[in-house]
Every structure is written in structure tokens, then in C-alpha cells.
Amino acid sequence: MSVSRFLYKLKKFSRRIFVHALFALLSSLHSYLGILLRQCAYPSIFGGFGAHIRIAPLVEFVNPLGIYIEPDVKIAQGVRIQCLGAASKIVLHSQVILDKGVDIKTHRSGRIKVGNNTYIGPFTCLSGDSISIGHDCLIAAHCSIYANNHRFSDPHTLIRLQGHSYKGITIESNCWIGAGVTILDGVSIGKGSVVGAGSVVTKSIPSFSVAVGVPARVIKRRKRRNSDSFRRSLTTA
């Protein structure tokens, strides 16, 4: 190994140790001083870090260089955000709120985006390689948004050894996802739609629909407003 290569690896390893030490020190501080210290220290170790971000204690970040947090985001205690895989990226746009215990994870080289003014409720899980959530969405507690599947076509090979497949999930702007909803890979939910509590979404749902059940089925359509300004406000980023 060349000297330059060794020094590069040493620098990378040292930064990793520094980041872990910084998180260990600052994430456990419960006082208002802890919030201020996190606001001061975190911008240097994230891919992007806006103003007026409030991060509660005991929040876990993995690979923060791939995590981009825009201004006025609020992250509650117990949230875990894992940006795994080469070139993965997680973006929380302005005024996103992640409630207690939310778990967000990319896989191989994934992209997860949460739009402006979106709320994600307690203990909801987002996992996969491509998840896009629009603006002004309400996602209730204990939802499961899984943009991946286990392959199992070979009965002679352990399922855990057959790898994954990835298609992606899109939830457009102004959607309300009820408590305990499961959204499976390959699904799109159109803007202005509502999904009832406990539903399992296996197929895409058109805009301005109300869907319930296992599997989720559209039971009615919401009336659209004619206002141009309202339509513009629903434009997906």
C-alpha cells in the first residue's frame, strides 16, 4: 500500500471516529443547551444542514454526509436515519416533522425524499432504494413504507441469500396515510388521496381517491376544486 493511500484511509477512519464521538457526546444532551450545541456542531458533518433545525436527544444518524436537512425541520427523540450504500442520499425538506421513533433507511444507492411541511408519525418505517414523499402529507403512526422485496423464486436456496428487488414508492403531495398502513414496493399514491387506517396498499391509487382495506381498494373519489392556486399548491416537487 502506498503512503498516500494509507494516509487517505487513516484520514477517513479518523473522521469516522470523530463523527461517532461527536454524536455520542451531543445526542445524549437533554437540555436546551444540547439543542444549541447540535445546531452548531452538526452542519460540519452533514451533507446539508439548514437553519433553525431542532433535533431532540437520542437521535441516531448513520453516514450523515449523505443526509441533507433543510431549515425548520423537527426531529423527535428516538428517530434513526441510516443513509446506507454508495452514493445514497436522504433529503428532508423544509418544515418536515419526524415524530418519535421514525426509522428511515436507504439500501444500495438509494434516494429518499420527504417534501416540505410533511409530518411522519411515531414509529413509522421508510426503507428501500427509492421513496419520494411530496409536500404537505400526513403520515400517521406505525406505518410501513417498504420500497424493496425479498426474492424467493428458488426453493432450494435460503430466502435470505436470494437478494432483493427494488421498484420504488411515490406518495404525491397532500396525502393522508392513516395509522398502521403498509405500502408495498412499486406503488404510487396520487396527490390529494386518503388511505384508511390498517390498509395494505399493493397497487397504485389515482389522485384524489379514498382507499381502504386489505388489499386497499378505492371506495370513492374526492371532489376537486377548480382554483388554479389550489392546483399549483399540489404540484409535486
- Of 171 and 11, the one with more pLDDT: 171
Mean pLDDT value of segment 123-129: 95
Q: What is the pLDDT of residue 126?
A: 97
Q: What is the pLDDT of residues 16-62, one digit of tens each?
A: 666 656 666 666 666 666 767 777 777 778 889 999 999 988 899 99
* pLDDT surpassing 90 at residue 228: no
Confidence of residue 237 (pLDDT cuts 50, 70, 90): very low
Which of residues 33 and 201 earns the better pLDDT score?
A: 201
Q: Does 107 score more than 60 pLDDT?
A: yes
* Element spanning 128, H or E: strand 125-133
Determine what percent of the chain is predicted with pLDDT higher than 70. 79
β pairing state of 209-212 and 217-221: antiparallel
Residue 234 clears pLDDT 60, i.e. is over it: no
Does residue 223 or residue 106 have the better pLDDT?
106
Global pTM value: 0.81
Q: All 3 cell numbers of residue 46? A: 452533514
Average pLDDT over residues 61-74: 93
Q: Facing residues of 114 across strands?
A: 92, 133
The closest of 180, 118, 168 to 143, measured between CA atoms, is 180
Give me the mean pLDDT over the 107-128 stretch: 95
Q: Using 50, 70 and 90 to split pLDDT, how confident is the model at 219? A: very high
Residue 104 has pLDDT above 70, yes or no: yes
CATH 3.20.20.70 assigned to 3-233: no
C-alpha distances in angstroms, 95 versus 106, 135, 192, 201, 224? 21, 10, 19, 27, 26
**Per-residue pLDDT tens over the stretch 131-152:** 999 999 999 999 999 999 888 8
How do the domains of the chain map onto residue ranges? 3-233
Phi/psi for 103 (5° steps) reads: -125, 120
Q: What is the mean pLDDT of residues 195-224?
A: 94
Q: So which residues are the catalytic ones?
A: 150
Average pLDDT, stretch 92-96?
Answer: 97
Q: Give the pLDDT of residue 19.
A: 61
Span 89-105, average pLDDT: 97
Q: What is the mean pLDDT of the chain?
A: 86
